[in-house]
Amino acid sequence: MSLKRKQNVFHAQPIQRMLRAALTLLIAVAPFASAQTPLTSKPAADVIAANSHFDLPDSPGVIFTTSSSSTDPDSADPSPADPNGAQTPTGPRPKAAAHLKMVVRPGEVARPMTVRDKVVGGLANSVSLFSATGWLAAAGWAQLLNSSPNYGTDSGAFGQRLGAAAIRSTSQGIFTNSLFAPLFHEDSRYYVMGAGHPFLKRVVYAGTRAIITRTDSGHSTPNFALFAGNAAGSALTIPYYPAQNTTFGEVAETFGGSIGGSALGFVVDEFIVDALIDLHIKKKQQQP
């Protein structure tokens, strides 16, 4: 093969991989886009009455009020108690790190999210310290098992895996929370079930939030935003993953692993968020 022909083949490969990524991305998100249903507006009393049997989650619940259009996402509304018996606060939500802004704890009133809330919250959460911890864990696990993406096992390979994990996780988070959550009218926050419930029930509840979520109006729904976001992020690994990890089967495996990682992240949220908040509050109390 002539040198010129070799150069043409070399330059064609990235273009071909980008085209494959774009095609895979379109195929991946098409089923979820077709499942979108329009958001209907209902009076607050009707929404609360219709969801008095909430099974996601049992403790906090969303309190809808006529004043819920406030532009401050951290403010709380002194509304009546949650229909499931959770304690309702009378003051604003405590200030929290980017990731914790996307988590609703027992006893908190969760205002319906605006599109801006979802976009800004998704962007901030995707590059939060919590997310960075996930990148390290994913890269470390892949390095330990020498699994996809197959960069090898030396120190340089760990750096490549860490970069790939950061790109994949960030793109999936942005797609899920900032793009698809507004498109599908889904509430992308995690609602902690909290203490007072059996351990196994909390684990099952948290893990299944990867496949079940709630709409902006408080109804349970398949987690189309997370499915589509993880599918899109997995498809976009084609341009930067090693060639052996960009086949259809490998991309599908990446998608499945991403769903599992999302489920694990929700389990971590369920059990560690209270401890993180307690530590934060104690540090603030120690200040003069």
The tens digit of pLDDT for each residue in 142-156 reads 999 989 999 998 889
Q: Do 256 and 248 contact (CB within 8 A), yes or no?
A: no
66: number of Cβ within 10 Å: 9
C-alpha span between 66 and 45 (Å, rounded):
10
Its sign, for the CA torsion 166, 279, 102, 196, is positive
The string of DSSP letters for the chain reads: --HHHHHHHHHHHHHHHHHHHHHHHHHHHHHHHTT--PPPP--HHHHHHHTTT--S-SS--PPP-TTTT-S-TT----PPPPTT-PPPPSSPPPP--TGGGGEE-TT---PPPPHHHHHHHHHHHHTSHHHHHHHHHHHHHHHHHT-SS---SSHHHHHHHHHHHHHHHHHHHIIIIIIIHHHTTEE--EE---TTS-HHHHHHHHHHTTTEEEETTS-EEE-HHHHHHHHHHHHTTTTTS-GGG-SHHHHHHHHHHHHHHHHHHHHHHHHHHHHHHHHHHHHHHH--
Confidence of residue 102 (pLDDT cuts 50, 70, 90): confident
- The residue assigned the tokens 């993180």 is 276
C-alpha span between 51 and 218 (Å, rounded):
7
Token couple for 49: 């009455």
pLDDT of residue 213: 95
pLDDT of residue 20: 57
Pick from 34-48, 51-65, 138-152 the range whose average pLDDT is largest.
Answer: 138-152
* pLDDT-above-70 percentage for the chain: 61
The tens digit of pLDDT for each residue in 168-204 reads 999 999 999 999 999 999 999 999 998 889 999 999 9
Q: Is the pTM of this model over 0.85?
A: no
Q: Is the peptide bond before 89 cis (omega within 30 degrees of 0)?
A: no
pLDDT of residue 153: 86
Q: Do 111 and 78 contact (CB within 8 A), yes or no?
A: no
**Chain-centre distance of CA 107, in angstroms?**
22
Confidence of residue 81 (pLDDT cuts 50, 70, 90): very low
The tens digit of pLDDT for each residue in 198-227 reads 999 999 999 999 999 999 988 999 999 999
Q: Is the peptide bond before 57 cis (omega within 30 degrees of 0)?
A: yes
**CA separation, residue 139 to residues 145, 160, 165 (Å):** 10, 9, 6
Segment 150-167 shows an average pLDDT of 92
